[in-house]
Amino acid sequence: MCVDGLCKAGPTSGCLARTCTTTSGDQYCGTIGDGCGNSVDCAATCTKAGWECQDHLCKAGPTAGCVPLDCTTANGDQYCGIIGDGCGNSLDCGATCSKTGWTCEGNLCKGEPPVCTPLTCTTANGDQYCGTIGDGCGNSLDCGSICSKSGWTCEDNLCKGAPGVCTPLTCTPASGGQYCGTIGDGCGNSLVCSTDCSAAGSGWVCGSHNVCVGSSTCQPLTCVASSGDNYCGAIGDG
């Protein structure tokens, strides 16, 4: 409707008026239009220390210590389109996703099955995620805050067992063999083992499952022991 020579949204227009805080959490400052034909007076002073009012938007000044976002997140997800950089400016991440078959949805590149297989709350080696995590396909996954194992607690989105509750693995387990590379320690942490497998035997190398494996000169065990007895279940082949 026309009010005082200016078109303004009437009660049936469904216009959603702008507030002093943007949908991404940025802060307007000074007097701005509300998008519905009216004006809204936002504070002239920015609430965050070191931030300054520039062009009616609070932006991080040189003393704010704000680190702007990048188009790639810390866990490898990719933003797309134009996003706020977290410091009051905009960041153009382009409309094309770098991974084949992924599409831009809500300013984040996403992959749907079969292009991408999303994570579950249980890892391949049996660890348990907790809290809200990225599912590896551009979406979020809520794994809850309670760990299923008694005495385990949620730390950095992973359930962990403290000493006394869980006994961590070592690089040379008592049952024999040698781990190599970085593995899970069975208690929710990482265990870094050497990739040098020479101590296990001549020609031994770090295999695809982070276990030292022998070369073609190594004679593997069979399910029939040398004494004539039979092994049962899953065993190491030596």
pLDDT in tens, 4-51: 888 999 889 999 999 999 888 899 999 999 999 999 999 999 999 999
Strand partners, 129: 158
| Mean pLDDT, residues 174-192 | 91
Q: Do 24 and 62 sit in the same domain of this protein?
A: yes
| Mean pLDDT, residues 154-180 | 92
Q: Do 137 and 203 sit in the same domain of this protein?
A: no
CB 130 within 8 A of CB 147: yes
Q: Do 83 and 59 sit in the same domain of this protein?
A: no
Q: Do 237 and 182 sit in the same domain of this protein?
A: yes
pLDDT recorded at residue 238: 64
Q: Do 77 and 141 sit in the same domain of this protein?
A: no
Q: Do 39 and 83 sit in the same domain of this protein?
A: no
pLDDT recorded at residue 124: 83
What gap in Å lies between CA 69 and CA 30, rounded to an integer?
A: 25
Q: Do 206 and 238 sit in the same domain of this protein?
A: yes
CA dihedral 13, 14, 19, 25 (to 10 degrees): -140
Distances from the Cα of 43 to the Cα of 25, 30, 31, 72, 221, angstroms? 15, 6, 8, 33, 77
Q: Do 56 and 85 sit in the same domain of this protein?
A: no
End-to-end CA distance of the chain: 84
Number of domains within the chain: 4
| Mean pLDDT, residues 62-90 | 93
Q: What is the DSSP letter of 54?
A: E
pLDDT recorded at residue 232: 84
The domain boundary, picked from 100, 116, 132, lies at 116
Tokens 């082949």, residue located: 237
The domain boundary, picked from 57, 92, 116, lies at 116
- The one-letter code for the residue type at 234 is A
Q: What is the DSSP letter of 40?
A: E
Q: Do 45 and 78 sit in the same domain of this protein?
A: no
User: Nearest to residue 57, comparing CAs of 11, 10, 22, 91?
Assistant: 22
pLDDT recorded at residue 227: 67
The token pair that represents 134 in the structure block = 């990225």
Least confident of 84-88, 123-127, 137-141, 170-174: 123-127
pLDDT recorded at residue 226: 66
Strand, helix or coil for residue 1: coil
Q: Do 174 and 238 sit in the same domain of this protein?
A: yes
Q: Do 51 and 37 sit in the same domain of this protein?
A: yes
Buried b (16+ CB within 10 A) or exposed e, 3-33: eeeeeebeeeeeeeebebeeeeebbbbbebe
| Mean pLDDT, residues 189-212 | 90
In the predicted model, what is the mean pLDDT of the chain? 91
Percent pLDDT > 90 in the chain is 74
Q: Do 162 and 101 sit in the same domain of this protein?
A: no
Q: Domain of 18?
A: 1-66
| Confidence check: pLDDT of 68 > 90 | yes
